[in-house]
Structures are given as structure tokens and as C-alpha cells.
Amino acid sequence: MTDNMTDIPKSHPRYLSLKMRESLVKGVEDGITSMAGLIAHGRGEMFDYLIGEETISTAERAEKKAVEEIIEAKNPVISVNGNVAALVPKEIVELGKTLDTKLEVNLFHRIPERVSKIKGALENNGAEEVFGLEPEEKIPGLDHKRALCSHEGIYTSDVVLVPLEDGDRAEALKKMGKKVITIDLNPLSRTSRVADITIVDNIVRAVPNMMEFEPLYDDFDNDENLKKTLLFMSERLKNLSEEI
């Protein structure tokens, strides 16, 4: 996240949350994040409230399984969009280096200028190679520009991390036979339901966690993990209602 917060003191109880908002607003001003990205973030914030704005045990398990799948993969790729580039530009580059993955810019609201700005932001944070600028391939079954991808990256990947995804691409990637990992605070989203591993955590916590965690090396059932996440949320709401 950017550190250009001028008026908000670190002691502010919502400092981290405000900092994230600021990074996204700056992302829009810099032409990195789409306007729709601000709406997407608001939805994420709401779900973050429901888990208490911390990494819960089901998310930790999913993060460890994701690390395992990525390090065991032949051609793992992290897909970067405008929200990811605004919130965790440095961390996503570091994660790619730590887990030895490729980085590819893949956008729903694709404008060539935005792709090159995101590429530039990743390079400014140490990325050596960023795919997706001149995509040669299309993900079959998708009508929109999110289908455009690079041959060396997403098209031939075996494991893809698609954080803050919008749904049908995850499904299309699965149909191509890829293992799909997502980071999505909404456990009910289409992406969350269709992914092989769904990390229900804020990306600003999930990415640093994945650089620290050891691989799980254990069975993992995504539906079971999502059920537990929803139960956690409802239990938490019940407990909070009793405190009022």
C-alpha cells in the first residue's frame, strides 16, 4: 500500500482501512485501478467486517494449501488486476519471487494504457518480467477482454492465482484444466464457489501470510472450508448480537 497518507494519524482506529481506501483512490487517479474497483473494494470491506478483519483459521488453512499447490506446480502464474496493483504492488512481486511464479496483468476493464501502467507499477516494485501486455491467446468460452492472455503465462499455466476475481474467468480456467486459487473476501461469490482453493481473507493479509507460511501437505476440501467460513461468520454475528 502507498504511504502517502497525509491527514490520517496512525492512531486512528480505522487507519489500515482508510489506508487501503486511499491506495485505491490513488490507483484510480494514476490510471491503475478501475472505477468499478472502488465498488468491489466496498463489498470486500463488508465481508472483512464479518470475519473481524483478521485471518481466520479456515483462511490460514487455504493459504497454506495454496502455497503447497503453487510450489508443486510446473508453470504457476499470479494474475494481477487494478485492485491488486493498487493494494499490494510490492508484496505481490515479492510473493511471485518467493514462490517462483510468473506475473501476468489480466483485466476485466481492459484498456492497453492501464495494462502498461500496471506493468510499470509492478516493475517499479522489482518485477523483472510481467506478462499480459501483448496477449497472443484467448481463454476459450469468454466473450469479454478478460479472455486475452499470454501464451507463456496464463494460457499454459497449470496453477493460477486469481485474486479479487469477477467470476466467469475462474470457471473458464477450470474448464481448461487448470487449478484455480482465489483470494476473495466473499465466500459466496461465483469465483469462491468454483475455485479449487478459496482464501477468504483480505489480500493485504493473505499475500504476506503466503510468504511466511509453510505448505499444508494435507487433504483440503474447498467446499468444507467454505462451509466452515460461513459458519464462523454467522457464529460471530450471533455472538456480537448477544453483546449488544
List residues near ligand PTJ by CB under 6 A.
34, 36-37, 40-41, 43-44, 47, 81-83, 87, 107-109, 164-166, 183-186, 189, 202-203
Q: Which is nearer to ligand PTJ, 57 or 100 (CB)?
A: 57
> At its nearest, how many Å lie between ligand PTJ and the CB of residue 92?
12
What whole-number distance in Å separates Cα of residue 24 and Cα of residue 217?
A: 35
Q: Which is nearer to ligand PTJ, 87 or 159 (CB)?
A: 87
What whole-number distance in Å separates Cα of residue 66 and Cα of residue 71?
A: 9
Cα-flanking dihedrals φ and ψ of residue 87, to 5°? -85, -40
CA distances from 194 to 46, 120, 227 (A): 21, 31, 14
What whole-number distance in Å separates Cα of residue 90 and Cα of residue 73?
A: 23
In the structure grid, which three cell numbers stand for residue 132, read together? 499480459
Q: Which is nearer to ligand PTJ, 87 or 233 (CB)?
A: 87
Q: Which is nearer to ligand PTJ, 73 or 185 (CB)?
A: 185
What whole-number distance in Å separates Cα of residue 50 and Cα of residue 41?
A: 14
Is-contact 105 131, C-beta < 8 A?
yes
Q: Which is nearer to ligand PTJ, 150 or 202 (CB)?
A: 202
> At its nearest, how many Å lie between ligand PTJ and the CB of residue 217?
25
Q: Which is nearer to ligand PTJ, 74 or 209 (CB)?
A: 209
Is-contact 115 142, C-beta < 8 A?
no
Written as one letter, the residue type at 172 is: A
> At its nearest, how many Å lie between ligand PTJ and the CB of residue 208?
13
> DSSP per residue over 139-196, as a string?
-TT--SGGGEE-TTTGGG-SEEE-TT--SHHHHHHHHTT-EEEEE-S-TTSHHHHHSS
User: Whose CB is nearest to ligand PTJ?
Assistant: 44
> At its nearest, how many Å lie between ligand PTJ and the CB of residue 223?
17
> At its nearest, how many Å lie between ligand PTJ and the CB of residue 74?
26
> At its nearest, how many Å lie between ligand PTJ and the CB of residue 41?
5
